[in-house]
């Protein structure tokens, strides 16, 4: 409860600071939203040439895309410091500041640079899910809303776990860029049905880097009208386990990295 109270305090204080420059905040929100909308334009262009993408209809692809956008927006709220970590926290020594405070350093890392610009993308993701579900005639119930919420949070936890583990490698390898950007680019695959990719890509995104659980696998629980959804029913139910498992692995790697940290020496 103490950690939750601190997280809420970080949240409110960061929001107040961002609202001090409202127009700058709104412009950044618009920029983030435009970047996500570009992906939707690509989807629209694809379906101008074909009625289906693999075995998936346009509304089904949009449902997957919307769920991916929702999960990625939740992750985006706390992910900024992951990109800054190698240079700012390790090489410039700001990790020392996190360690001397009587607060969990991982909590500080994720909460001190919250990206509220992701909130419009979160709303857009919900709108896409609602629009596509209406087009497909999907019936909602409190249980399905709960499962969708759990899947989105689990997918966000999965992303935190994956990128936390990659970020922690900076404790051992002094790299200002790190390896997170190329892995982050693989998230584009998670916004589409995995079955349209080569089997090697499907295997990679289902096991080694589980981005298939970003949206595709959990979405198959809802897209039961598609004949291929039944093939992935087990994977759909595994989404919370993958999320918690990935986060646990990321935290374990982080703990090892913190113990190995020796400051900058400056």
Q: Which two tokens stand for residue 171?
A: 């404790």
216 within domain boundaries: yes
For range 193-203, the mean pLDDT: 92
DSSP 137-179: TPPP-HHHHHHHHHHHHHHHHHHHHHHHHHHHGGGTS--SS-S
Supply the pLDDT for residue 246: 97
Please report the pLDDT score of residue 175 as a whole number.
62
pLDDT value of residue 11: 83
Residue 9 pLDDT greater than 80, yes or no: yes
Residue with token string 């999960």: 71
**C-alpha atoms less than 13 angstroms from C-alpha of 181 in its C-beta half-sphere:** 8
pTM here is 0.90
Asked whether residue 139 is domain-assigned, the answer is yes
What is the pLDDT confidence band of residue 17, given thresholds at 50, 70 and 90? Answer: confident
- The chain-wide mean pLDDT, for the chain, equals 88
CA separation (Å) from 231 to 42, 146, 191, 221? 27, 23, 19, 10
- Residue 176: per-residue pLDDT: 57
State how many domains the chain has: 1
Contact residues for 201 (Cβ-Cβ < 8 A; gap 6+):
189, 194
pLDDT of residue 80: 83
pLDDT, position 71: 95
Is position 113 within any domain?
yes
Q: Residue 205: give the domain boundaries.
A: 19-260
Q: What is the pLDDT of residue 113?
A: 81
Which among 242, 236, 198 is positioned nearest to 216, based on CA atoms? Answer: 236
| Position 248 confidence tier, pLDDT thresholds 50, 70, 90 | very high
pLDDT score for 57: 92
What's the confidence (pLDDT) of residue 245? 97
Residues 6+ apart with CB under 8 A from 237: 221
Asked if residue 265 belongs to a domain, the reply is no
Asked if the structure places residue 1 within a domain, the reply is: no
Using the predicted structure, report yes or no on whether residue 63 has a pLDDT greater than 80. Answer: yes
Task: Check residue 266 and give its pLDDT.
Answer: 53
The DSSP code for 254 is: H
Dihedral, CA atoms, 24, 26, 28, 32, nearest 10 degrees? Answer: 180
> Per-residue pLDDT tens for 127-176?
999 999 999 999 899 999 999 999 999 999 999 999 999 989 888 876 65
Distance from the Cα of residue 235 to its chain's centroid: 18
pLDDT beyond 70 at 197: yes
How large a percentage of the chain has pLDDT more than 90? 47
pLDDT reported for residue 86: 85
Question: Is residue 12 a part of any domain in this protein?
Answer: no
Taking residue 126's Cβ as centre, other Cβ atoms within 10 Å add up to 17
Confidence of residue 177 (pLDDT cuts 50, 70, 90): low
Q: Does any domain span residue 169?
A: yes
Q: Which two tokens stand for residue 105?
A: 């350093």
- What CA–CA distance (Å, rounded) separates 92 from 174? 11
Tell me the average pLDDT across 28-32.
79
Which region among 62-66, 180-184, 194-198, 199-203 has the lowest average model confidence (pLDDT)? 180-184
Asked if 154 contacts 175 with a C-beta cutoff of 8 angstroms, the reply is no
Q: Is there a domain that residue 170 lies in?
A: yes
């Amino acid at each position: 409860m103490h950690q939750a109270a601190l997280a809420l305090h970080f949240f409110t204080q960061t929001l107040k600071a961002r609202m001090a420059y409202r127009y700058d905040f709104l412009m950044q929100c618009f920029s983030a939203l435009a970047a996500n909308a570009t992906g939707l334009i690509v989807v629209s262009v694809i379906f101008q040439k074909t009625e289906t993408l693999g075995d998936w209809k346009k509304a089904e692809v949009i449902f997957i895309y919307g769920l991916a956008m929702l999960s990625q927006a939740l992750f985006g709220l706390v992910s900024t410091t992951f990109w800054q970590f190698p240079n700012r926290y390790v090489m410039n020594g700001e990790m020392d500041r996190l360690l001397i405070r009587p607060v969990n350093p991982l909590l500080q890392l994720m909460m001190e640079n919250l990206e509220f610009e992701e909130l419009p993308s979160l709303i857009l993701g919900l709108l896409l899910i609602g629009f596509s579900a209406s087009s497909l005639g999907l019936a909602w119930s409190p249980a399905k809303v709960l499962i969708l919420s759990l899947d989105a949070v689990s997918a966000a936890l999965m992303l935190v776990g994956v990128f936390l583990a990659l970020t922690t490698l900076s404790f051992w390898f002094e790299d200002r860029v790190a390896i997170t950007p190329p892995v982050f680019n693989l998230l584009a695959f998670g916004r589409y049905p995995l079955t349209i990719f080569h089997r090697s890509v499907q295997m990679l995104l289902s096991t080694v880097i589980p981005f298939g659980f970003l949206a595709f696998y959990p979405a198959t629980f809802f897209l039961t009208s598609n004949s291929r959804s039944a093939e992935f029913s087990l994977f759909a139910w595994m989404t919370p386990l993958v999320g918690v498992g990935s986060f646990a692995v990321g935290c374990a790697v982080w703990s090892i990295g913190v113990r190995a940290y020796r400051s900058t020496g400056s």
